[in-house]
Structure 1
Amino acid sequence: MATVVLVTGGTGLLGKALEHIIETEPVGSKFGKRPNETWIFASSADGDLRDPAQTNKLYEKYKPTHVIHLAALVGGVYKNMKYKLTFLRDNILINDNVLHAAYTHKTVKVISCLSTCVFPDKVEYPLDENKIHNGLPHESNFGYAHAKRMVDVQNHAYKEEFGCNFTSAIPTSIFGPHDNYDLEAAHVIPALIHRCYLAKKNNTSFIVGGTGKPLRQFIFSYDLAKLFVWMLREYDDVEPIILSVAEEEELSVKEVADAIIKAMAFEGHYSFDTTKADGQFRKPASNKKLIERMGSFQFTPFEQALDMSVKWFIENYDTARTGNKKAA
Structure 2
Amino acid sequence: MSNPVSALSRATVVYVAGHHGLVGSAIVRHLRRQGFSNVVGARSAELDLRDRVATRRFFEHQSPDVVIDAAARVGGIVANSEYPVDFLGDNLRIQLNLLETAHEFGVERLLFLGSSCIYPKFALQPISESSLLTGPLEETNDAYAIAKIAGIMHVQGYRRQYGRRWISAMPTNLYGPGDNFDLRTSHVLPALLRKFHEGVLKDDDEVVVWGSGRPRREFLHVDDLAAACLFLLENYDHPTPINVGSGEDLEISELAELVAGVAGFRGRIVFDTSKPDGTPRKLLNVNRLSELGWSPSISIADGIASTYRWFVENVSKQRSSQRAFQGAGLD
TM value normalised by structure 1? 0.90
Alignment correspondent of 1:7: 16
SS in 2 for 1:208: strand
Q: Report the Cα offset of residue 319 of structure 1.
A: 7.6
Alignment correspondent of 1:218: 219
| Contact 1:181 1:321 (C-alpha < 8 Å) held by counterparts | no
For 2:95 and 2:250, how far apart are their aligned partners in 1?
Answer: 31
Relative to 1, partners in 2 of residues 1:298 and 1:140: Cα closer, same or farther, differing over 3 Å? closer
Matched, 1:132 2:132: yes
| Contact 1:195 1:206 (C-alpha < 8 Å) held by counterparts | yes
Relative to 1, partners in 2 of residues 1:305 and 1:52: Cα closer, same or farther, differing over 3 Å? same
4+ residue stretches of structure 1 with deviation over 4 A?
318-322
| TM alignment of 1:100-111, pairs within 5 A | 100-111=100-111
| TM alignment of 1:135-284, pairs within 5 A | 135-204=135-204, 205-246=206-247, 249-284=248-283
Task: State the structure with more CA Rg.
Answer: 2
| TM alignment of 1:85-96, pairs within 5 A | 85-96=85-96
Q: Report the Cα offset of residue 175 of structure 1.
A: 0.6
| Matched positions, count | 313
| Amino-acid identity (%) | 33
Relative to 1, partners in 2 of residues 1:164 and 1:10: Cα closer, same or farther, differing over 3 Å? same
SS in 1 for 2:180: coil
Q: Report the Cα offset of residue 140 of structure 1.
A: 1.1
| Contact 1:213 1:253 (C-alpha < 8 Å) held by counterparts | yes
Deviation digits for residues 180-217 of structure 1, max 9, x if unmatched?
11111100001111111111122233211111111011
Q: Report the Cα offset of residue 271 of structure 1.
A: 1.4
Q: Report the Cα offset of residue 93 of structure 1.
A: 0.7
| Contact 1:181 1:320 (C-alpha < 8 Å) held by counterparts | no
For 2:301 and 2:209, how far apart are their aligned partners in 1?
Answer: 19
| Contact 2:118 2:146 (C-alpha < 8 Å) held by counterparts | yes
For 1:105 and 1:216, how far apart are their aligned partners in 2?
Answer: 39
TM value normalised by structure 2? 0.89
* Contiguous gaps of at least 5 residues in structure 2: 1-8, 325-331
Matched, 1:19 2:28: yes
**RMSD of aligned alpha carbons:** 2.0
For 1:265 and 1:167, how far apart are their aligned partners in 2?
Answer: 42
Q: Report the Cα offset of residue 238 of structure 1.
A: 2.2
Deviation digits for residues 51-102 of structure 1, max 9, x if unmatched?
1111112211211110110110110011111111211111111111100000
Equivalent position amino acid for 1:211 in 2:
S
SS in 2 for 1:316: helix
Alignment correspondent of 1:29: none
Equivalent position amino acid for 2:19 in 1:
G
For 1:255 and 1:273, how far apart are their aligned partners in 2?
Answer: 15
SS in 1 for 2:49: coil
